[in-house]
Amino acid sequence: MVKETYLHDKHVALGAKMVDFAGWHMPVQYTSIIEEHKTVRNAVGLFDVSHMGEVFVSGNDATLFLNKVVPQSIDKLPYEKAVYCQLTNKNGGLIDDLIIYKIGIENYLVICNASRIDEDLNWLVRNKRGLDVKIDNQSHNYSLLAVQGPKAIDLMRKLGYSIENQKSFTIKHDKIEGIKLLVSRTGYTGEDGFELMVENEYSEFLWDKILEHGMEFGIKPIGLGARDTLRLEAALHLYGNDLDETTTPIEAGLSWSIPKDKTFDYNGKSVIVNQILNGVEKKIIGLEMLDKNIARHGYDIYYKDQKVGNITSGCVSPSTGKNIALGYVKNLPEIGTNSIIQVMIREKLHDAKVVKRPFIQKRNRV
Amino acid sequence: MSFKENMLCSKSHEYIAEKNIVGLTDYAVEQLGDIVFLELPSVGDVFAKGDVFGNIESVKAASEIYMPVSGKIIEVNDAVVEEPEKLNEDCYENGWLVKIEPDNYDSDITDLLTYVEYKAEVE
């Protein structure tokens, strides 16, 4: 059965076009993807991302346990800080990508992709053998609202939230309009913004309050369509498109997120360390089409008449008007920034240029 | 709107008006969302009923456009190819796609629907 978030009826009442996404009936757009996209880049947007998974990990061995399932150093994560992580299998392949928040002593919040929650839970449980760890999936009890854009900070202040001392990638327990929630300064758009985790029964009230107070800042509700174009401009990966179980974080261009000095063993460590030292067979690239054609997920990439890889995500960038894409290619030294490659679109090869990622200037680090 | 009254629609969302103007219905355009790419054939190209004669892409997805009747392309609306986003405003008077010289108009239209029938079908 297709699931509905607690805010489902709000979306329908706002006239959203609804689609099935990862088993959820979600708004893909309210008015126009391009218009919603620009609202987030220029003002502020509100997203319902309650389909995402919220899992609490606690117990005496919680830190030890998380350190074993991700390449990141969870033992070094300070209280109220967040870290972008990958849940790796024995071969270093990605089961999911996650944000882990430290919300107490031996107490963590793990946010995972809606499409991967079952696989994640299964893998976490399989790895807890012999450890004092409680894995508590609370996805069905919480709603997650994202407020994103350059005006997000003004809106949060207007809602009475004190953002002082809350830098990006941090989380705090707090109250807005008397409602208890967890507020993190994170997002999936490349803009500054906040994610608000709240018990389901208060989510509709909070949704309405945010839209009401956001009016003066030009707020709009934003669907999954613009969420996808926003994250792609920021070159943030989408699990299932750009990441899967056969791709390692190193191949996915996520080396920056992996500490090179982690002594602790974790799933897939030997493969990942070997790739850091000796290189990878395939690598992710960003590309820009040189004609009007749009590269889409699954299209083949060619270099000097040889098939060398495929596109994993592509769209017209609403911010720049350029046709951008992410893809994987054989790790040939001659394919680098400014190289000309080709994408097979409707049985014809179209030129594209390899460009640096992200495709826009990110503004989320404050 | 006279355009809508005098046209016939296919279940794959193309219309033919005045026996030779082919385009996409407003319902199709609305479903596609923001249109960002359009590819149409050249004058002189010949297609059978049901053939793919063009490609259209919105921000989200790529779709094919099918011939509602057989015929030869006699004119292409270059203005919409240049600015496909204009289709979101008007897919009829200024937003038609191609004009054709039909081969067997009368026998090809037997399975096409009037606009009223079509709207009832899709909504």
Facing residue for A315 by CB, picked from B39, B55, B59:
B59
Q: Give yes or no for a contact between A217 and A42, defined as CB atoms under 8 angstroms apart.
A: no
As a whole number, mean pLDDT of residues A36-44 equals: 98
- Cβ of residue B62 closer than 8 Å to a chain A Cβ: yes
> Tokens 């329908």 identify what position?
A12
Q: Give yes or no for a contact between B73 and B19, defined as CB atoms under 8 angstroms apart.
A: no
- Cβ of residue B45 closer than 8 Å to a chain A Cβ: no
pLDDT band at A143 (very low <50, low <70, confident <90, very high): very high
As a whole number, mean pLDDT of residues B109-119 equals: 95
Of B37, B40, B101, B32, the residue nearest B72 (C-alpha): B101
Q: In terms of pTM, does the model score above 0.90?
A: yes
Identify the closest residue of chain B to A36 by CA–CA distance: B34
Handedness of CA A241, A246, A252, A258 (dihedral sign): positive
Quick check: A197 pLDDT over 70? yes
Quick check: B1 pLDDT over 70? no
**β-pair partners for A244:** none
Quick check: B3 pLDDT over 90? no
The pLDDT, as a whole number, for residue B21 is: 97
The pLDDT, as a whole number, for residue A271 is: 98
As a whole number, mean pLDDT of residues B62-85 equals: 97
Give the domains, in start order, of chain A with CATH numbers: 8-50+140-233 (3.30.1360.120), 281-366 (2.40.30.110)
Q: What is the mean pLDDT of chain A?
A: 97
Length in residues, chain A: 366
Distance CA B8, CA B23 (A): 11
- Chain A: closest CA distance from residue B110 (Å): 31
Q: DSSP assignment of A338-350, as one string?
A: T-EEEEEETTEEE
pLDDT (tens digit per residue) in A328-356: 999 999 999 999 999 999 999 999 999 99
As a whole number, mean pLDDT of residues A89-109 equals: 98
Residues of chain B neighbouring A229 (CB-CB closer than 8 A): 59
Q: Give yes or no for a contact between B24 and B16, defined as CB atoms under 8 angstroms apart.
A: no
Find the range with the poorest average confidence among A34-43, A164-173, A192-201, B1-10.
B1-10
The pLDDT, as a whole number, for residue B2 is: 67
The pLDDT, as a whole number, for residue B6 is: 85
Give the domains, in start order, of chain B with CATH numbers: 3-100 (2.40.50.100)
- Chain A: closest CA distance from residue B34 (Å): 6
* Amino acid of residue B112: L
Of B80, B85, B88, B117, the residue nearest B26 (C-alpha): B88
The pLDDT, as a whole number, for residue B61 is: 86
As a whole number, mean pLDDT of residues A261-269 equals: 96
Percent of chain A's residues with pLDDT above 70: 100
Q: What is the mean pLDDT of chain B?
A: 95
Residue A18 parent element (H or E): strand A17-21
Length in residues, chain B: 123
Of B12, B111, B118, the residue nearest B56 (C-alpha): B12
As a whole number, mean pLDDT of residues B88-108 equals: 96
**β-pair partners for A309:** A301, A329
Inter-chain CB pairs, A–B, below 8 Å: 33
